[in-house]
Structure 1
Amino acid sequence: MKSNSSIEKKKAIVSVFLYSNQPVTKCQGRYFTKMKNFVDFLALLSSKSPDYRLIVPCNSIEQSETAALIPINLPSDLIEVNSYQGHTQALLRTIPNAYHLRKQIKKTLADGHSVIIAGPGPNSMLYLLSLLLPKNVKFAFFIRGDTVKTVENMYKGRLIGRFAIELVKIFQRRIYSLLKQRRAIAFTYGTKLRDIYAQHGKAQSIAPLIDSSDISTISTVSREAHVGGILKVLFVGRLSREKGIQDLLDACQLAVKDGTPFELTIIGHGPLLDSLKDYIQTHELNGWVSLIGYVPHGGKLMTYFDSHDLLCLPSYTEGVPRVIVEAFARGLYVAATPVGSIPALFSEHLHLIENNSPRAILDAINWCRSHTPEIKDAAAGLPKVANLYTLEHHVESVKKQLNQFAVADR
């Protein structure tokens, strides 16, 4: 005969509030985003149960402003909170947003539901909610990278840097504490982060990075046109110090001096945009470097993947870069620095750059140039590798873990 406690666990309704820290915009009832990053995974997860509610920072825009944005399918019953731009605004909006959410969560608790708050970490919203809500509320953190290292690189040399780093450390220590109390579970993007958080409590490695519709086996004809000629190198990412984009430009200049030039296409936006333009002009690299700017996710971006020979990511810090799997999905080979979870997840499928120095970056690019047949063979199997990192591949596992965690220790 089953015990009363096991019957209670079966009857318990698990309500999961899924907080996305990625702001979206709204126009005429439709939602848009600048890039698919994390909100698409949470949206898919929320569609798997009527008791899962998506929470998004949101603001309204005019129709004319949607041209450069990506339409994204979000559930109709989502909860909208005040949107923001940048870290400072995010902190300021956290307090009113958290109190707004606390009311809805307390009502759900009063209805007898078990509640989990899930979202990215370390994060100010989940930190504050963990202090405001009763101790029977649990948390699930999606850890996508080493946030402390990322913030250190972003704010290096700035007065506010020390404050920002200490604040992130406070948020991180709170996660460790909740894990030790068995009030939290950590879903880490990669095994390296899992091993860190598992020291404090329950942690599981996941990597939901791209939609299955982005995976396509393509012809290698366009790439073969460049074999033995000028290599076409692509960079896609935020134009900021931690991404190593300046070092990649230095490598491009070094290649021209060495007589081994390559064509570099840079896609992205960020704080280094103007300085990169000046550098290209000053060092007369206009014939070798194309600074495209922001390109929304979709067909146009895929065209850039398909028309290049190599994706180069000389980052100083990363979690699990989505762009690597996007390149794999298009059969594009990748050279990247061994940071974050890149070595643990992808070392068998890409070329690891020894370090971030321009010379090391150039050596890696030249290696790829001189090993074209091997790269061609490896690239042919990359779309199959990408299948392991689709949102659909991971969402059911995460849902199962959340439901089990909600009723554990009851």
Structure 2
Amino acid sequence: MQSIAILAAWSVGEVDGYIYLSSTHCVYLEYITTHYDKVFLLSTRSKDNSINNKTLFKADNLIFLPLPIISSYINAVPKLGKWKKAIETVSDKVDLIYCRVPDPFSWMPALLFKKKTIMHFVGDTIDATKNNEKWSWLKKQIMIAGYLPDYVLTLLAAKRSRVYTNGYHLTEKLSKFGIQGTPVISSTVRESSLKSPDLLVKHINIHLIYIGYIRFAKGIKTIMNLCSLLQSKDIDFQFDVIGSGEMYSELQEYVNKNQLSSNVILHGHINDREKMNSILRESNLFVFPSLSEGSPRVVIEAMAQGVPVISTPVGSLPTTFKDGDTIRYFNFHDANGALKIIQEYLKDNKPFVNQRNKAFLAVKEKYTIEAFLSQVFNY
């Protein structure tokens, strides 16, 4: 086996020499530390070194090298030297460096240190900026212009690296720059955690769920509009919203203002995967109105728990799951389209039972974490 460094903005907390990460990243590290002799984790610290909503991770062959706390790419720029020093520290000690894009300075290992590098494109900063509903056109242009130097360096580094992308759409975009990438479907679903679908729950008219960041690019405005439509149609519904983000207070204000607190349950971030899966399995439909994605893991997770998914045709989903077969799509910003699908479910849920059964089998056969990580880290 070889040694590897992981360069990622994973927001790690550290107390008494022990590190704490999100449960998702713990799953990744568990795999990596069992397949490499030595693993160096070069990752950003969490704010105030907090370990709230994080999981303890231990491995004898893991060494953590902390990077500064950052809140955005712009915030990271003045700290570029810290990244360079950290990479320089491990450069001669590892055979391979894995970099996540668009995390800051993912171009450094390949360009500055000429290291054997895996570059994993998990999202698209430019696309996410264009779809930020809260920013004006001018601010979007300024933000994109400020990011372009890093983006150009990232593309140059990708030409010298093995490249994976979360979805075919990112592979196609990179191919325009002469970069050959391999599309993968990001997953945190273990084979052992797959839940064979049961009969759909019928305790209220409709039980909906969303899991993800509470931010504009995730289509939270569409969730608000959908709740208003359900309320206006006198549909008895419960909508569990799991996640946190900069739009959380606005969503909370909307729920209170529209007297929806008995219908919309804001859970905040849930780090306990068993608890999250339990809520998933009580739901009838997983609603995913996102505007910008790579390969959304939460959709895979919902399917793995036997929940039918209705979603925008975002990221890798249209090239992975077929509309009307394993998923149902509605247009971006289209709460009425989502409502129409929900009304179809209320009228006849049998097609949705067939849909979720097919999706469950697809995840079981193709999209487990074992399949995903073995592809990315088999270098």
Say whether residues 1:80 and 2:65 are aligned partners: yes
Identify which range, 142-151 or 210-219, moves more after superposition.
210-219
State yes or no: 1:101 paired with 2:87: yes
Residue identity in the other structure for 2:344? W
TM-score by length of 2: 0.87
Check if 1:356 corresponds to 2:333. Answer: yes
Deviation per residue, 1:269-317 (Å, 9 max, x gap): 1111111122112222223212222211421111110111111011111
Q: Does 2:54 align with 1:69? A: yes
Q: How big is each residue's C-alpha offset from its partner over 1:13-45, in whole Å with a ceiling of 9 and x where there is no partner?
A: 965422122121123443322451x56425523
Task: Give the structure 2 partner of residue 30 of structure 1.
Answer: 18
1:145 aligns with 2:123: yes
Structure 1 SS opposite 2:276: helix
| CA–CA distance in structure 2, aligned partners of residues 177 and 67 of structure 1 | 37
What does residue 315 of structure 2 align with?
340
Instruction: Show the counterpart of 1:124.
Output: 104
More deviation in 361-370 or 210-219? Answer: 210-219
SS in structure 2 at match of 1:21: strand
Q: Given that residues 2 and 36 in structure 2 are in contact (C-alpha distance below 8 angstroms), is that contact kept between their aligned partners in structure 1?
A: no
Is 1:56 aligned to residue 36 of structure 2? Answer: no
On the 8 A contact 2:107/2:157 being kept in 1, the answer is no
1:308 correspondence with 2:283: yes
Q: Could you say if the C-alpha distance between residues 179 and 128 of structure 1 is closer, same or farther in structure 2, counting changes exceeding 3 Å?
A: closer
Q: 1:289 to 1:14 in 2, by over 3 A?
A: closer
Cα pair distance change 1:300/1:117, threshold 3 Å: same
Q: Which moved more, 1:187-196 or 1:79-88?
A: 79-88
Rounded to whole Å, the distance in 2 between the matches of 1:61 and 1:278 is: 27
SS at match of 2:331: coil
Q: Which residue of 2 aligns with 1:256?
A: 231
Q: Does 1:170 align with 2:158?
A: no
Equivalent in 150, 165, 170 of residue 188 of structure 1: 165
In the alignment, structure 1 segments of 5+ residues that lack a partner are 1-12, 403-410
Residues 65-93 of structure 1 deviation map (CA, whole Å, 9 limit, x = unaligned): 75632333555332312241411444344
Q: Partners in 1 of 2:30 and 2:143 — Cα distance?
A: 29
The aligned amino acid for 1:171 is D
Q: How many residues align?
A: 373
CA apart distance, 1:219: 5.6
Greater shift in the superposed pair: 300-309 or 17-26: 17-26
1:204 corresponds to which of 170, 182, 193: 182
Q: Once structures 1 and 2 are overlaid, which stretch shifts more, 124-133 or 191-200?
A: 124-133
The answer to whether the 8 Å contact 1:57/1:82 transfers is yes
Q: 1:357 to 1:58 in 2, by over 3 A?
A: same
**1:186 Cα deviation after fit:** 1.3
Q: 1:198 to 1:159 in 2, by over 3 A?
A: closer
Look up the match of 2:259.
Answer: 284
Secondary structure in structure 2 of the residue aligned to 1:55: strand
The alignment partner of 2:315 has SS state of coil
CA distance in 2 between counterparts of 1:208 and 1:128 reads 24
Displacement after TM superposition at 1:94 (Å): 3.5
% same residue: 18
* Higher Cα radius of gyration: 1
Amino acid at match of 1:373: K
Q: Classify 1:178/1:83 alpha carbon distance in 2 versus 1 (closer, same or farther; 3 Å).
A: closer
2 CA distance for matches of 1:172 and 1:60? Answer: 26
Amino acid at match of 2:239: L
CA distance in 1: counterparts of 2:369 and 2:197, whole angstroms: 25
Q: Secondary structure at the match of 1:125?
A: coil
Correspondence for 1:45 among 32, 46, 54: 32
| Equivalent residues of 1:46, 1:54 under 8 A apart | no
Superposed displacement of residue 332, structure 1: 0.8
SS at match of 2:162: strand
- Where does the alignment leave 5 or more consecutive residues of structure 2 unmatched? none
Verify the 8 A CA contact 1:266 1:292 in the aligned structure 2: yes
* Counterpart pick for 2:354 among 367, 370, 377: 377
